Structure 1
Amino acid sequence: MSKLPRSAALIVNTKSRTGEKAFRDACRLLKEAGVDLVMAKAVKNPAKLPDEVKKAVNAKVPMVIVGGGDGSISCAVDHVVGTDTVFGLLPLGTANSFARSLAIPLDIAGAVAVLTEGKRKKVDLGMIDGDYFANCAAIGLSPLIAETVPHDLKKWLGRPGYLGWAAVQLARFKPFLLTVGEGASAVTIDALEVRIANGRYQGGTELIETEVGDGDIVIQVIEGQRRFKLLWSWGLSLGGPGPVRGTVREFRGREFRIATDPPLPISIDGEVLAQTPVTAKLARHAIVMAVPA
């Protein structure tokens, strides 16, 4: 496949954990590598980031580079779908799960090297109803955390702060009834957590034996009613997806209808953006990305 473009727009969410500090370094490293930055925006209000991406795509900039966390990446990809624009990312968030799933280095120099020395690749995205997402959506405790976690806690304490807040919110959490599928083939089970995954990672932890591009969306469910099992599964996740496999049930395919009783919010790459029931599916080869060579 052809080389990556040497002309790009850089759009960085400076509210992401390392965004403000990384913006100047990214500009300098890209220019030193011979990339012509036709646009460089440090976005202080994350809500305005998708509009800046849309402007760059509409201006036919060959490559749009977004710096931020998983939420920033997820809200940006919608505007690149169906275009010839190459999408690049600088992982500047707390978990950086999508970057991990694509083996993109988490340091600025390494990520910039991918943007200048890597290759183009058509990459799958997930979809929740009509909304594209990059890496993973979740039902259960994750949306409860996402709705309540103080932004400064994530920014200054990173993953340890996020996990500490998760322990606090566990006391409020209640199991729920999950239905996957419709009609005679529907499966209804007691659930503690549901992950709707396009990639291997959630919250920066490798949980699912899959690859971005394997052709399936993965529904991973921690079954049961006792919160202890949720804690047990989380503990096993420290050893990777192998130990987790014994505590979860998985459904793999291109499309699933998902409902819960009661209806519950869904966090999409860390941002609460939907509520059950929804249709989750895979968008095959949805965007062209800069990935490691």
Structure 2
Amino acid sequence: MIIKSVPREAVLIVNAHSRRGEALFEQAKEKLQAAGVTLLAAHAVHDPEKLTDVVRQAVRDGAPMVIVGGGDGSLSGTVDDLVGKDCVFAVLPLGTANSFARTLGLPLDLDGAIKAIATGQRRRIDLGLIDNDYFVNAAALGLSPMIGESVPHSLKKYLGRLGYLIWAVWCFLSFRPFRLIIDDGTQEYRMWATEVRIFNGRFHGGVELTENTDVDSGDIVIQAVTGRNRARLALDWYAKFFKLRSRDAHTQDFRGKSLKLDTRPHHHISIDGELLARTPVTVSIAARAIDVVVPLRNAQLNRLSQSFFPSGRNEADAGSQKCGPGI
């Protein structure tokens, strides 16, 4: 397998409004350059609504790679301008749940994420589509958008995932089930549901909610927590968080290239944490849409090591030989 090289020049764009963005912007600049990444420009964006414009301009200016720091909403809102462009997308996970970074296998600490960018490889991935809006990881309707729409920013900023959990319990008490309609082009399915997740990746809210898809699977997955009993939703999150054997007992999955989704009553849809759509919608996949940076896999690191040491010696063995400087 040929490992495509990651560009050594990039534009850094950080959502300074995200939970850790403002505090870590200067550190990110210094550590990226120390790791051998030449920054053509660096922007701390304090108004989240301007983030997309800054990324768009960087792509138009010919940046070989854009490094976006922020939460899942920041990342999802910027990918549209990379589709069809020869520009690599790299991620600094500076948000609360960092579900997309988890799906890509990226370290969640700043040093680890920068190391992955400096030493990683490209991976061609799919993007999800809700009508004409691209998203990187997951969307949801039901309780999750209700939480995302109403959670106080200060609670999210200072308590992180714990803040989400506290607010989720509060919202859970007033939430009501709804009717779900899914059309896969050959059959229409109707059921009661308490939550619906739309997956391009595996994680949502920082929890792995599906093991049956990935960002290069070539299809989209709709997962419904079925039934009218709200306790089933709590049990589903509990089982999936702790990876119990019963973790799929309360959900039903629908998979395809394109699916129509509607609800009664109509519901807002949270796309990677941001309320951006409302049922009815068409959910589809944009296969192999962009290049992202991911860590090198262990097997690939081993192959690289063997290419440097064809006789089978490892780097430590080579360093013990007095035959010149090590590699």
TM-score (norm 1): 0.97
Greater RCO structure (CA 8 Å; 6+ sep): 1
Question: Is it true that 1:16 corresponds to 2:18 in the alignment?
Answer: yes
Corresponding residue for residue 178 of structure 1: 180
- Contact preservation (8 Å) 1:206, 1:241: no
Closer, same or farther: CA 108–173 of 1 in aligned 2, 3 Å: same
Question: Is it true that 1:166 corresponds to 2:171 in the alignment?
Answer: no
RMSD: 1.2
> 2: distance between equivalents of 1:158 and 1:84?
35
Question: Is it true that 1:278 corresponds to 2:278 in the alignment?
Answer: no
> 2: distance between equivalents of 1:256 and 1:130?
13
Counterpart of 2:197 (choices 195, 198, 211) is 195
Counterpart of 1:216 (choices 202, 216, 219) is 219
Closer, same or farther: CA 128–183 of 1 in aligned 2, 3 Å: closer
Q: CA deviation at 1:176?
A: 0.5
Corresponding residue for residue 155 of structure 1: 157
- Contact preservation (8 Å) 1:201, 1:208: yes
Task: Report the residue type matching 1:260 in the other structure.
Answer: T
- Contact preservation (8 Å) 1:215, 1:284: yes
> 1: distance between equivalents of 2:246 and 2:209?
9
Per-residue deviation, residues 208-237 of structure 1 (Å, max 9, x unmatched): 012221122111100011111111112112
Question: Is it true that 1:86 corresponds to 2:88 in the alignment?
Answer: yes
Q: Structure 1 vs Structure 2: percent identity of aligned residues? A: 51
Corresponding residue for residue 76 of structure 2: 74
TM-score (norm 2): 0.88
Structure 2 unmatched ranges of 5 or more: 297-327
> 2: distance between equivalents of 1:219 and 1:286?
20
Counterpart of 1:29 (choices 6, 16, 31) is 31
Moved more, 239-248 or 13-22: 239-248
In the TM superposition, 1:26-65 aligns within 5 A as: 26-65=28-67
Q: CA deviation at 1:182?
A: 5.9
Q: CA deviation at 1:240?
A: 2.6
- Contact preservation (8 Å) 1:257, 1:277: yes
Q: Secondary structure of the residue that 1:112 maps to in structure 2?
A: helix
Closer, same or farther: CA 241–178 of 1 in aligned 2, 3 Å: farther
> 2: distance between equivalents of 1:87 and 1:72?
13
> 2: distance between equivalents of 1:224 and 1:118?
43
- Contact preservation (8 Å) 1:207, 1:240: no
Corresponding residue for residue 252 of structure 1: 255
Structure 1 unmatched ranges of 5 or more: none
Per-residue deviation, residues 76-99 of structure 1 (Å, max 9, x unmatched): 111111100000000000000000
> 1: distance between equivalents of 2:133 and 2:172?
28
Counterpart of 1:122 (choices 114, 121, 124) is 124
- Contact preservation (8 Å) 1:125, 1:133: yes
Corresponding residue for residue 113 of structure 1: 115
Closer, same or farther: CA 183–25 of 1 in aligned 2, 3 Å: closer
Counterpart of 1:225 (choices 220, 228, 250) is 228
Per-residue deviation, residues 5-57 of structure 1 (Å, max 9, x unmatched): 11100000011111111111110111112211111000111111000000000
> 1: distance between equivalents of 2:21 and 2:186?
48
